[in-house]
Amino acid sequence: MNVVIIGKGKMGTLLEQTAIANGMNVLGKADLFDPSALENSLDQVDVILNFSHPDNLEWLLQTISHHSIALVEGTTGYSQTQKDMLFEFSNTHPVFFSANYSLGIAILCQLAKKVSAQLKEEWDIEVVETHHNQKVDAPSGTALALVEALDPEHEFEHVYGRQGSVGKRQKEIGIHALRGGTIPGKHEIHFFGQDEELTLSHNAQSRQIFVNGAIHAAKFMVGKPNGLYDMNDLVSLN
């Protein structure tokens, strides 16, 4: 499998090392400012791994638009316009898109959906995410994915933190972001009932878990027809 990695930071380096360890042929790393590794291998690359900056998206999609290349997309912080652009691209290309490539988070999302369906009418729900002090977007894309799993019909108001005289709790899900230190990522879902609490949580101990999931996704995407895929296509509780 021939792959090109978009992004030259820590994540890009981990992706390159792990891809090589898994027998993949890494043709190079590229980005908007140095696109040569991609532009020079468009007829060879099978899968692109993009875990970089949102500014790379438009250039990337334009560059590969006329080539049969699968895209494994893990960049966070996209605007809704950028997400729509990516979803439209999946009509003509196979695209794997997830805010979090941890297999454990994929299971957590599925658990969240099942538990919420049972408890949401009588229990209160809060989501808390914690990340390192260099993370630029808040709340995390993973936290938003968890909220979507908890509230797929958008029945609840989504409250991002609280301040001042907020009054009695309404039909809402609270979402809270903590930032500090070097924590790769921690996500907690709290279900508060009458005299009891249920907590579902996942703690990432390194970026490597996301890299491992991305490599699984890349292998999965080989030969897939055009369309949009996500972690639910890799793991399932059903």
- Domain with 214 in it: what CATH number? 3.40.50.720
Domain co-membership, 132 together with 217:
no
pLDDT of residue 116: 98
Name every residue whose Cβ is closer than 8 Å to that of residue 97 and which is 6 or more positions away in sequence.
Answer: 73, 74, 86, 90, 228, 229, 230
Domain co-membership, 190 together with 167:
yes
Domain co-membership, 85 together with 111:
no
In a domain, 238, yes or no: no
Domain co-membership, 125 together with 187:
yes
Catalytic hit among 131, 176, 187, 216: 131
**How high is the mean pLDDT of the chain?**
95
Domain co-membership, 143 together with 72:
no
pLDDT of residue 236: 81
Domain co-membership, 41 together with 85:
yes
In this model, does residue 238 exceed pLDDT 80? no
**Which two tokens mark 171?**
């039909």
pLDDT of residue 179: 98
Domain co-membership, 79 together with 111:
no
pLDDT of residue 50: 97
Catalytic hit among 8, 113, 135, 190: 135
Does the annotation count 135 as an active-site position? yes
What range defines the domain where residue 144 resides? 103-204
How far apart are the two ends of the chain, measured CA to CA in Å?
30
Does the annotation count 224 as an active-site position? no
pLDDT of residue 99: 80
How far, rounded to the nearest angstrom, does the alpha carbon of residue 216 sit from its chain's CA centroid? Answer: 14
CATH code assigned at 147: 3.30.360.10
How far, rounded to the nearest angstrom, does the alpha carbon of residue 172 sit from its chain's CA centroid? Answer: 24
In this model, does residue 4 exceed pLDDT 90? yes
Q: Residues 45-96: pLDDT tens digits?
A: 999 999 999 999 999 999 999 999 999 999 988 999 999 999 999 999 999 9
